[in-house]
Amino acid sequence: MADDLSDAQLVARVQRGERAAFDLLVRKYQHRVIKLVSRYVSPPEAQDVAQDAFIKAYRSISGFKGDSAFYTWLYRISINSAKNYITARSRRPASQDVDVDDAEVMGQTEQFSDRDTPEALAESHEVRDAVLSTIRDLPEELRTAITLRELDGMSYDQIAETMGCPVGTVRSRIFRARSAVERRIAALSEK
């Protein structure tokens, strides 16, 4: 029976005070939200960030008007929760220092490997930062479409349903977003 209910029906029930309906929404989207936020934070932290996102969603669901799909709304909350977590984490002092004696042991793990030279790391960070910056600077409809496709792995039909627009519009938005990212990466290569 719970699978037969649409997100809109479940949201309406939550807005009427039925907490069990929100549990169904959490079960439906928890894996997608964890996968989404794990693109920003480490897997152990992703669970906490996802939980925080669901708590924020629950607390503000009375203000959800249904102008967008529920997952699109939850997606925005999740991304903001991940960004807030990263900001808060950067303000905290480092919790783990590497001792000189431990450096040899760590050199045998994946954490520090030969391919992680300062130059390679700097280049990969530069590309990653450029891609993320470009996506962040895109208009919201392009940013949402490319993120749902590339990060969440949603199909064009699912994105169209989530965003409430035709599939052709989704294809156009994704094409324009990819073009912007490709131009930015090409500009980096020319340096």
Average pLDDT over residues 150-172: 86
| The model's pTM | 0.53
Which among 34, 56, 91 is the end of a domain?
91
Within a domain: 189: yes
Domain that holds residue 64: 1-91
- How many domains are there within the chain? 2
Statement: residue 109 has pLDDT above 70: no
Helices assigned H by DSSP within the chain: 7-15, 19-37, 43-60, 70-91, 100-106, 118-137, 140-146, 156-163, 167-189
Planar angle of CA 75, 188, 176, nearest 5 degrees: 45
Question: Higher model confidence: residue 14 or residue 86?
Answer: 14
Q: CA-to-CA distance for 162 and 8, rounded, in angstroms?
A: 12
Query: CA 18, CA 103: separation in Å to the nearest integer?
Result: 53
Same domain, 67 and 143: no
Type of residue found at 45: E
User: 35-67: per-residue pLDDT in tens?
Assistant: 888 888 887 888 889 999 999 999 999 998 888
On whether both 186 and 141 belong to a single domain, the answer is yes
